[in-house]
Amino acid sequence: MKLLVTGGCGFIGSHFIHLALAKDAGTSIVNLDKLTYAGRPENVADLKNEPRYKFVKGDICDAALVRRLAKDADIIVHFAAETHVDRSILSAGEFAKTDVLGTQTLLEAALHSGHERFFHISTDEVYGSRKSGYFKEDDKLEPNSPYSASKAGAEMMVRAYEHTYGLKNTITRSSNNYGPNQHPEKFIPRAITNLLRARQIPIYGTGEQVRDWIHVRDNCEAIWMLLEKKHLGIFNVGMMDGQTNISIAKRLLALTGRDETSLKYVEDRKGHDFRYAIDTSKLRAAGWKPQVNLDAGLKETVAWYRANQKWWEPAVIDK
């Protein structure tokens, strides 16, 4: 396969590129990334001399560039997005532009390049929150933040291009990812980098919000399987193992040798969703199962940040 991967210098995208190149010697990848604050060239620096890999700096909203790159690809695998909820509350317009208009620009390029399908990476946050039970792929979308609304809008564009133009698609809605190379603005790496610097972890409200954490490698394995086997439709990707934010924080305290004086409870986020929970039985029936359990994954992740301070230190919050 010849893949056009968007956002491949980011967290999940860079892990996917490494996995795809390792999985199939016949796969080649063009990585289109704007290199915003979250796009780190270091994440793919080891691929500089890989003949099957090419980096292009550019914006997914640049229609001429995207169309040119799409002509030489078999399929677009679309990771690029503004993703941080806190930032979306402060700058909703930027999220709407990148996540919705950028996706539409890519869809148009895929359509005019004769692609058979489009692969879109979404999030479980498009469902909104629920107190109990699990969201399935055909449940109604009720996004509650500008970020999740922009991702839901992107999904509606993908849906419209199939219904109107016949461009088939695959959409993955993953739960919260964690692992090496994640920007320190996100909860787990921010907690780890704060603790490694003997600083407190900010905890929204009481910390009882529930999230389902999946290691980035398991998510990328799911994406690769669906891509390679040409599965179409929507697939939830997660562990079905909800954990409170405070329980995650306490695990990280133990792994870094800190105590509960390192917890700092702060005012809750505006419109904060209480619980995300997705049913992944459809994906598991297709042949995927996770390989990294939470305790092992967190231990590995802490070790990576401990060993790679030069990577994360320039990007930490509250220096």
Q: How far is CA 278 from the centre of its chain?
A: 15
125 is catalytic: yes
* All residues at 6 or more sequence positions from 147 whose CB lies less than 8 Å from its CB, including other chains: 82, 83, 84, 85, 87, 88, 95, 99, 125
What is the topology classification, in CATH, of domain 2-177+213-237? Rossmann fold (3.40.50)
Instruction: Determine which one of 147, 178, 276, 305 is catalytic.
Output: 147
Instruction: Determine which one of 124, 155, 212, 273 is catalytic.
Output: 124
CA distance 48 to 271: 42
For residue 70, give the nearest of 111, 113, 101, 33 by alpha carbon: 113
Under CATH, which number does the domain 183-211+241-273+293-315 receive? Answer: 3.90.25.10
Instruction: Determine which one of 82, 99, 108, 125 is catalytic.
Output: 125
Per-residue pLDDT tens for 185-222?
999 999 999 999 999 999 999 999 999 999 999 999 99
Helix (H) or strand (E) holding 294: helix 294-307
pTM of the model: 0.96
Domain boundaries, the chain: 2-177+213-237, 183-211+241-273+293-315
Question: What pLDDT is recorded for position 269?
Answer: 85
**Alpha-carbon torsion (96, 99, 104, 105), positive or negative:** positive
Question: What pLDDT is recorded for position 306?
Answer: 98
37 is catalytic: no
The angle, 0 to 180 degrees and rounded to 10, between the axes of the packed helices 245-256 and 294-307 is 50
Question: What pLDDT is recorded for position 13?
Answer: 98
Question: What pLDDT is recorded for position 319?
Answer: 52
* All residues at 6 or more sequence positions from 83 whose CB lies less than 8 Å from its CB, including other chains: 38, 123, 147
Q: How many CB atoms lie within 10 A of CB 161?
A: 21
* pLDDT (tens place) for every residue of the chain, 319 residues total: 999 999 999 999 999 999 999 999 999 999 999 999 899 999 999 999 999 999 999 999 999 999 999 999 999 999 999 887 888 888 899 999 999 999 999 999 999 999 999 999 999 999 999 999 999 999 999 999 999 999 999 999 999 999 999 999 999 999 999 999 999 999 999 999 999 999 999 999 999 999 999 999 999 999 999 999 999 999 999 999 999 999 999 999 999 999 999 999 999 888 899 999 999 999 999 999 999 999 999 999 999 999 999 999 988 866 5
CA distance 317 to 256: 19
Residue 106 has which token pair? 């890519």
CB 216 within 8 A of CB 12: yes
